[in-house]
């Protein structure tokens, strides 16, 4: 990973991601130490202001973060007075990242050599990575190609057979970085890792003829509405393109007729006022009618893990509670 973005002993790496998570523990400590780079830790827990101050004071050349952390830095009032010109590269991972956010990180945070990484704790943690030298299309709309000595294939989740190039399927990973197994749980290990050593990631992905991988969603997050598969990421990226939307996440909730219905959680840009009618009109003619959210939830914050990852299962639990649905299909309306 560090070699892919050119780390040397002259680099100073700001790591605001927690060290109890694989991002900080492996990509942070090992990624820096194996190349002789200095590790800069802004604090025990993430704070956007402290991170900006650490980059400025320590003249960091690289910074790590998940999308929500980068958003917090971009929106922090101290950004205007922070000197981030020492930055040249960095890593972003842990969740899908919209192209507009990637562009803002490169320009407003000066991380011109930003690299997207993708993987899971069970793969120690990354399997694919974009490079600073990649074309803009690859850097903005994919998670790159497999890292050295790692294999990736895209398979039909039901049959395990490799799907044709350009066809969505489950991403599987094999290589030195795949874990040996879940502690004292042979059944879970057998379900996750094939006898040939392929780790099932649960990610829905597409691979092109060059081996570049694009994540289109999570198998467990796919919304099945009236027999049609709806991938939340497509709807999320459209909503994020609205100038008044700061961030958006899409989930499925039960519906007595369709099985599931699309619901969007939206965080407006500070000072903006949005409503369901405006966003529904924005989506109309841009995506098919069945993909337009029927339910809207406006919020200032999203439920996240301690490492900053969005918790869609908590959004669903909160939505079901608000709708009065006790885990079973029930009528819902716009």
**CATH code of 298's domain:** 3.30.300.30
In this structure, the answer to whether residues 239 and 279 fall within a common structural domain is yes
Residues 131 and 23 in one domain: yes
Q: Is the pLDDT of residue 329 over 50?
A: no
Q: What are phi and psi of 175, to 5 degrees?
A: 160, -175
> How far is 12 from 321, CA to CA, in rounded Å?
46
- The answer to whether position 194 is within a domain reads yes
CATH code at position 156: 2.30.38.10
| Residue 141 counted as domain residue | yes
Q: Is residue 107 part of a domain?
A: yes
Average pLDDT score, the chain: 93
Domain hosting 312: range is: 222-323
Q: Examine the domain organization and report whether 17 and 56 are in the same domain.
A: yes
Which three-class secondary structure state does DSSP give residue 256? coil
3-state secondary structure 193-248: ECCCCCEEEEEEEEECCCCCEEEEEEHHHCEEECCEEECHHHHHHHHHCCCCEEEE
Backbone φ and ψ for 67, nearest 5 degrees, come out as -50, -40
66 is a domain residue: yes
Looking at the predicted structure, is the pLDDT value of residue 334 above 60? no
Looking at 200, 216, 232, the residue that finishes a domain is 216
126 with 227, same domain: the answer is no
Q: What is the pLDDT of residue 326?
A: 45
Residue 333 pLDDT? 37
Residue 261, phi then psi, degrees to nearest 5:
-130, 155
CA distance 120 to 113: 23
Tell me, what's the pLDDT at 202?
Answer: 94
Question: Could you read off the pLDDT of 66-101 as tens digits, one per residue?
Answer: 998 999 999 999 999 999 999 999 999 988 888 989
Claim to verify: residue 166 and residue 135 sit in the same structural domain: no
Q: What CA–CA distance (Å, rounded) separates 226 from 92?
A: 35
8 and 138 part of one domain: yes
pLDDT at 16: 96
CB atoms within 10 A of CB 243: 7
The string of pLDDT tens digits covering residues 182-194 is: 999 999 999 999 9
pLDDT number for residue 328: 42
| Position 330 pLDDT exceeds 80 | no
Last residue of one domain, picked from the residues 146, 169, 191: 146
Return the residue matching tokens 């991380």.
111
Tell me the sheet residues that pair with 105.
none
- Say if residues 127 and 173 touch (Cβ distance below 8 Å): yes
Alpha-carbon gap, residue 21 to 142, rounded angstroms? 23
Same domain for 156 and 176, yes or no, is yes
Share of the chain above pLDDT 70, in %: 97
Give the end of a domain, one of 116, 146, 176. 146
- Same-domain status, 234 and 208: no
How far, CA to CA in Å, does 76 sit from each of 114, 128, 281? Answer: 20, 30, 31
Other beta carbons within 10 Å of 240 = 17
Measure the CA–CA gap between 274 and 246, rounded to whole angstroms.
Answer: 11
Q: Does residue 244 belong to any structural domain of this protein?
A: yes
203-216: pLDDT as tens digits: 999 999 999 999 98
For residues 323 and 137, which has the higher predicted lDDT (pLDDT)? 137
């Amino acid at each position: 990973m560090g070699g892919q973005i050119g780390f040397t002993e002259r680099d100073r790496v700001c790591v605001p991601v927690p060290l109890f998570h694989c991002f900080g523990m492996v990509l942070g400590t090992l990624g820096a130490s194996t190349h002789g780079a200095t590790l800069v830790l802004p604090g025990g827990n993430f704070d956007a202001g402290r991170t900006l101050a650490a980059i400025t004071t320590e003249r960091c050349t690289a910074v790590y973060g998940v999308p929500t952390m980068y958003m917090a830095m971009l929106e922090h009032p101290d950004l205007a007075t922070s000197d981030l010109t020492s930055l040249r590269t960095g890593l972003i991972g842990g969740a899908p990242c919209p192209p507009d956010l990637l562009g803002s990180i490169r320009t407003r945070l000066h991380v011109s050599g930003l690299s997207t990484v993708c993987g899971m704790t069970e793969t120690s943690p990354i399997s694919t990575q974009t490079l600073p030298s990649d074309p803009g299309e690859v850097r903005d709309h994919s998670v790159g190609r497999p890292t050295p000595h790692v294999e990736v294939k895209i398979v039909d989740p039901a049959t395990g057979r490799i799907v044709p190039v350009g066809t969505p399927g489950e991403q599987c990973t094999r290589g030195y970085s795949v874990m040996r197994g879940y502690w004292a749980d042979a059944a879970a290990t057998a379900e996750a890792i094939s006898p040939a050593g392929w780790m099932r990631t649960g990610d829905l992905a597409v691979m092109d003829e060059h081996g570049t991988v694009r994540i289109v969603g999570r198998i467990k997050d796919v919304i099945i509405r009236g027999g049609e598969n709806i991938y939340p990421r497509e709807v999320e990226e459209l909503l994020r393109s609205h100038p008044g939307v700061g961030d958006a996440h899409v989930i499925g909730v039960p519906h007595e007729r369709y099985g599931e219905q699309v619901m969007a959680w939206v965080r407006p840009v500070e000072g903006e006022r949005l409503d369901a009618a405006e966003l529904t009109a924005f989506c109309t003619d841009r995506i098919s009618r069945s993909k337009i959210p029927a339910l809207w939830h406006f919020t200032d914050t999203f439920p996240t893990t301690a490492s900053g990852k969005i918790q869609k299962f908590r959004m669903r639990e909160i939505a079901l509670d608000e709708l009065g649905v006790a885990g079973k299909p029930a009528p819902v309306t716009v």
